[in-house]
Amino acid sequence: MTLAKLALGFAFRSLILGTAIAAGFAQAQSGYPARPVRMLVGFPPGGGTDLTARIVATNLAERLGQPVVVENRVGAGGNIAMDAIAKAAPDGYTIGVAGSLITINATLQPNLPFDPVKDFAPITKLVSNPLVLFSNPAFEAKDLRQLIALAKAKPGAISYGSPGAGTAMHLVGALLNQSAGMNLVHVAYKGNGPVVNDVLGGQVPLGVADVASTLSFIKSGRLHVIGVATPQRTRVAPELPTLAESGLPGFQVQSWTGVVAPARTPPEIITRLNANIRAILENAEVRDKLLAAGLEPAPNTPEEFAEVIRTETQRWAKAIRETGVKPDS
């Protein structure tokens, strides 16, 4: 047999083998999922992140025909779960719930074991979690303009609580100081609940927390709203004014939750998960359940969600440098 014929035969066999491998891969993807899917959550049961994950997981299991098991990997502000997702096999059987905190921690915690932009395949944003600046009703400033005037008249005399140093809520206050030329003093708590309790009790005049933690007290008149940090009024409580419309045009701090997979997860799996989760979030019953919990459904495409993570990571890096926010400040 001539060398040319041997080469031709080898090329033909390679083509057949390559076609067979591609067909087998496509068949494997079309059969996804063939076993249960894990959904890792970095926060304990009972909170808004866990609630959202369980609502989505229950409905997603029905659509995929396989169990979707929520697994709480608590610790390090959600970083333990995120690290586990980043290091999981990129086969669609481990996905997880990411929060906007990963875009902040990328700068505040330079030794993170994962990169929020490079190590995940975004699937879709799930919900926006509106943040609100609120006060004890006895506090003399009733709106943002009055607060700015009072804070400038008494620099360093007015404090605000947040659920922790380096959180998005802490950054709301830091950016307000920067934007309005104030000097509100930050007081770090451990969670939304203690912030709300101390504002209710008058130990601290102002607080920043999520709407989910404050809405019942706002509706009962036990807390007064200065403004919400969303760019437009939130569907959760459209009667609440935004900080942007109250005197600081363009002001916004977004807090969100979304679903990601490990980087290099096949695009076919990402597309299928995105389509199913978006359909779940667009269901009226699911939407109403989330809104009642203070969470605003906000599904998007994988490409749009990737852009959110990328741009917010850049934005927070700049804001943290300019405001001097630190994890222990």
Does residue 127 have a pLDDT over 60?
A: yes
Query: Residue 150 domain-assigned?
Result: yes
Phi-psi region of 200 (alpha: psi -120 to 50; beta: other; left: phi over 0): alpha
One domain for residues 287 and 302: yes
Domain residues for 220? 131-228
CATH number of the domain that residue 261 is part of: 3.40.190.150
Examine residue 277 and state whether it is found in any structural domain, yes or no.
Answer: yes
pLDDT category, 140, cuts 50, 70, 90?
very high
Q: Are residues 161 and 298 in the same domain?
A: no
Instruction: Examine the pLDDT at 30 and tell me if it is beyond 70.
Output: no
What local confidence, expressed as pLDDT, does residue 76 receive? 87
pLDDT digits (tens, 9 = 90+) for 56-100: 999 999 999 999 999 999 988 899 999 999 999 999 999 999 999
Mark out the alpha helices in the chain (DSSP H runs).
3-30, 48-64, 79-87, 101-108, 144-153, 168-180, 192-201, 211-219, 267-281, 284-292, 302-323
Domain count, the chain: 2
- Whether 1 has a pLDDT exceeding 60, the answer reads no
Is 260 found in the same domain as 122? Answer: yes
Query: For residues 142 and 154, what is the distance between their CA atoms, to the nearest angstrom?
Result: 16
Residue 193, domain CATH: 3.40.190.10
Whether residue 158 lies inside any domain: the answer is: yes
Q: Is residue 89 part of a domain?
A: yes
Same domain, 260 and 219: no
The predicted structure's pLDDT at residue 281: 98
